[in-house]
Structure 1
Amino acid sequence: MARPSLAGKLTGKVVVVTGGAQGIGAATAAALHRCGARLALGDLDRVRAEKTAGELGPDVVALPLDVTDTAAFTAFLDEVERQIGPIDVLINNAGIMPLSPLDQEDDAATRRLLEINVHAVVHGTREAVKRMKPRGSGHIVNIASMAGKSGFAGAATYCATKHAVVGLSEAVRLELRGTGVEVSCVMPAVVRTELAAGVAEARFIKSVGPDDVGAAIVTALLRPKFDVFVPKSLDLTGRIARLFPRPFGEWLVRVLGGDQLLASAAHSPERAEYEDRAARSVPSVPPGGSV
């Protein structure tokens, strides 16, 4: 966590968290609220978002948000600015992780992943740039994953979406150089939330809690940094792995059991409730429609 002497930098800042009702979003909101930020939580589950906001304090705004509805997403951001002021920080956190081998993944699941994990992040980032760039200040935080740097069996499309978030963030960072708008890309390991239900503890990388991710995001806002690995050791692990030829790296992952980390959880009983909820996160764009 950042030193207390820096915490005042977030006091009064308007921060938007998508997918803010639970998990990483709720933990991040709590950490930011302790730093004095003015928060707006957006989530498809309005009831849970309002409950989370109420637990944080009467000054926290909770609004319904379907990130796949781009017009509604824009209107949501407009409403936040109407209620509490210009947005200083946008945290694109909303995302899903249904698991299955690619040949068993139906097209509806693929569409949900792409709409929620990629297109919504692109739209949110674009909207943030339009609002922040003219003011010469702001910070965009995109939540990716260690799956944005590597591939994991049983989660091919999910990995593809997180690779997209990393690439998007890297490119936008270059576009915004010198404008005063910062970009951070957060890449956690397995986070102990509903999204990771049924995923076993890895032997080679320790899982983290949502509070760990929230603390890392606060630190990145106080001391702007692009690559945010949670835990920090992920960065070193990745650098070391890239020093060796691919066959050796893949052999090492198999020896450590990483090749089945997500695949083995795909049909576990512990994931049933989450998989059902993720399947109900239906994109607003009908099949065959334009985006």
Structure 2
Amino acid sequence: MQSIFISGAAQGIGAAIARLFIQHGYKVGLYDINHAQVENLAVQLGENAKTGLLDVTDPAQWQTALQDFSAWAGQLNILVNNAGILYSGPFEHTDLAAHHRTIDINIKGVINGCYAALPYLKQADFARVINLSSASAIYGQADLATYSTSKFAVRGLTESLDIEWQKYGIRVLDVMPLFVQTAMVKDMNAQSIKKMGVNLQPEDVAQQILKLAQIKDHPWIPTHTLVGIKAKFLFNVSKLSPQFVNRLSNLFIAHKPQ
């Protein structure tokens, strides 16, 4: 039985991933800073779910969580770096501490997870890392500046490690959804969400992650998987359009009607 370890599994996309993988016969690790909430979820999921406390900004907690989970599951096959936060609104109106917290969780948390998981992934008969990036990593988004920056970093780390870890037989992939109906986007202060809308559910992202977890390794498996028609459209347009056109289109998205 293969196993999957999910950070930020208490709610939203993380919880949807956990439910789906339990249904497909995986041993599932639900780890979150909100331990009580993942405990409640695990009760619903049954004996193939294991929980633990994890603050992704703390490397020592990663070491403890992965050692604990791998001993229980037998091996670590799939790591999903899902934990993340979002602050919206004008850059200068957001507290500097909030900008730093975004970097600590969304970037350093993913780096911590990849670094701590590698020894376990190298021992597995099948191993894969799937990171949560975002369509905000296609072009920097106004009023989501630091969040967008963090997802560009996840995209870059994914590309780098997907090449580096090929020698170990480990693919490192990411998913890039547009806005997903979770608590993260509630009351978001950005014109982009008002113009683009929220058309994805957590289950839509979970389904893509399941496909990436199950597909056998081939050179043509894309490193980035866009989730949803709008994200795919924006990604393809950004590749084909001149830079000034990309800037103008994002100015339009960010513009607040008078």
State TM-score, norm by structure 1: 0.79
In 1, Cα distance between the equivalents of 2:2 and 2:106? 26
Letter in 2 for 1:107: L
Partner residue, 2:68: 79
1:189 offset after TM fit, Å?
0.6
Match in the other structure for 2:202: 210
Alpha carbons 2:29, 2:49 under 8 Å: kept: yes
Unmatched 5+ residue regions in structure 1? 1-11, 262-291
Deviations, residues 147-199 of structure 1 (Å, cap 9, x unaligned)? 12221111111111110000000000010124221211111110000001124
Residue 24 in structure 1 maps to residue 16 in structure 2: no
What residue in structure 2 maps to residue 123 of structure 1? 112
Superposed CA RMSD in Å reads: 2.0
What is the rounded CA distance, in whole Å, between the counterparts of 2:93 and 2:194 in structure 1? 24
| Distance change in 2, residues 1:161/1:201 (3 Å) | closer
Cα separation, partners in 2 of 1:26 and 1:175, compared to 1, 3 Å? same
Counterpart of 2:214 in structure 1 is 222
In 2, distance between residues paired with 1:215 and 1:50?
A: 23
State how 1:35-184 maps to structure 2 within 5 Å.
35-135=24-124, 137-184=126-173
The DSSP-based 3-state class of the residue aligned with 2:240 is: coil
Which of 218-227 and 186-195 deviates more? 218-227
1:206 Cα deviation (Å)?
5.8
Q: Kindly tell me the number of residue pairs found equivalent between the two proteins.
A: 248
Q: 1:152 to 1:134 in 2, by over 3 A?
A: same
Instruction: Identify which of 215, 223, 231 aligns with 2:228.
Output: 231
Would you say the 8 A contact 1:136–1:181 is kept in 2?
Answer: no
Separation (CA, whole Å) in 2 of partners of 1:130 and 1:100 = 39
Structure 1 residue 107: Cα displacement: 2.3
2:28 pairs with 1:33: no
DSSP 3-state at the match of 2:166: coil
Q: Structure 2: 5+ residue runs without aligned partners?
A: none
Note the C-alpha offset of 1:84: 2.1
Using the size of structure 2 for normalisation, the TM-score is 0.89
Cα 1:206–1:192 shift into 2, 3 Å: closer
Separation in 1, partners of 2:44, 2:122: 33
| Residue of 222, 246, 266 corresponding to 2:243 | 246
**C-alpha displacement of 1:31:** 0.9
Alignment CA distance shift 1:260-1:50 (3 Å) = farther
